[in-house]
Amino acid sequence: MRLSRFQRTFALITGGKIAGALLQAASLALLASFMDVAEFGRFFVVVSITYLAMTPFEFGFGTLALRIKREDDPGGTLAAVLALRCTTTALTIGLTFVGCVLSFENMSPSLILAATIWATSEAVGNLSQNLYVGLLRENVAIAFLLARRAVLVAALLLGQAQRVSSPTELILFACGLSLVAGPALLSIHASLPMQSPIKLLSSRRRFWLTGLGDNLRQLDTVIVMLLAGPVVTGYFAAASRLVAPLGILTSSLMQSMIPEMVRRGKEDTSQFLRSALRYMTLVAAVLALASSASPILMTVVYGSEFGPSWPIAAAIIFGAGLTAMNQTILAWEVDQGLSGAVTVIILLSTFLYLTCISAASFASTTYALAVGILVSGMAYHLALRFRFVKHFPKAEAT
């Protein structure tokens, strides 16, 4: 049986992200072997603060990247995106490092720098992958993902084999290499004259607001640290970082659908979207069942010390199923130009999520945090679903 172009693209991206998720799980397990629960929590608080520092400079580039072929001048737009991202990343690293060194007395400056580089390499790496997908070079995007994950795992394995006491230098090498490689490789596809950065930003306000909502979610780890303490934060970070690749995995649907819509142009995509939504509903059901294995997952990956984090992992696995359906709807919304109503839904869902996390943190239990994640996730999905049911038939008719 011959697979369609979309099926081949989806299989490539999904297969690559499964392998990438396994490598990321291995890197987290190796990182945890160098730290106790509290230190692990503090490390990822700095990671979250770094993401937050990048928030004003997000500009919605992740979403824009997926549809960059629809720009009047893709090469000039790419050059502007790379110039802005490199400049703002350097600024973020400097500001975050100085701020965290002054704020965290229990962490060495070198480990703070490592956490900052870890976060920025992830952000720049994800943008690089999206740009390659948007340029219709999905195979390069997956190769880059696997390469950067494998280099980090190899570095941490080497450190463990040599009984290194701190992972700082290992992270700086592996993540620093990834941070530089992405923009350097993409610059081959950029062209001059570069699109005016001011014009680019002023015409992409809705994409910027969408990225703003996603980045503000990084406040969750900081909130848990402030309200529940470093140990509960360690549990929260361990579960959320380990299971987070599932959400990234389901985003492969959007990364496959938007380029497919670009290729199709004005062809009717109604049946295509309906089939994708049915398939993702099935994926959501499978993930809901898989969440029951979270107690085993957390103990096997991190050890018994991190065992109490399993309710959070279960909630995030269930939430990844909701994300799978959300990504289908959002792919259509992005292709339609991303309305202001969807931007508002995304921002309100972020506010609700952080409110639920704050309320749950007062209880200082992993069960309360799990409930907060589930409540906010269901509300976000229902809001997107109701809008889709209302507006998709109208779009079909035009």
Least confident span in 58-62, 103-107, 266-270, 334-338: 266-270
Taking the alpha carbons at both ends of the chain, their separation in whole angstroms is: 34
pLDDT in tens, 115-152: 999 999 999 998 898 888 888 787 888 899 999 999 99
Asked whether residue 255 carries a pLDDT value surpassing 80, the answer given is: no
Give the pLDDT of residue 147: 94
pLDDT tens across 48-70, in order? 899 888 877 877 777 778 778 77
Angle at 133 between CA 128 and CA 137, to 5 degrees: 105
User: Is residue 216 a contact partner of residue 52, using CB atoms and an 8 Å limit?
Assistant: yes
Half-sphere exposure of 381 (CA within 13 A, CB side): 21
Closest CA to 88 of 50, 128, 145: 50
Mean pLDDT, the chain, integer: 84
Share of the chain above pLDDT 70, in %: 85
Q: Is the pTM of this model over 0.85?
A: no
The Cα–Cα gap between 207 and 84 comes to 15
Checking if the pLDDT of 266 tops 80, the result is no
Asked if the model's pLDDT at residue 257 lies above 70, the reply is no
Number of domains into which the chain is organized: 1
Asked if residue 197 has a cis previous peptide bond (ω within 30° of 0), the answer is no
Q: Which domain holds residue 344?
A: 5-397
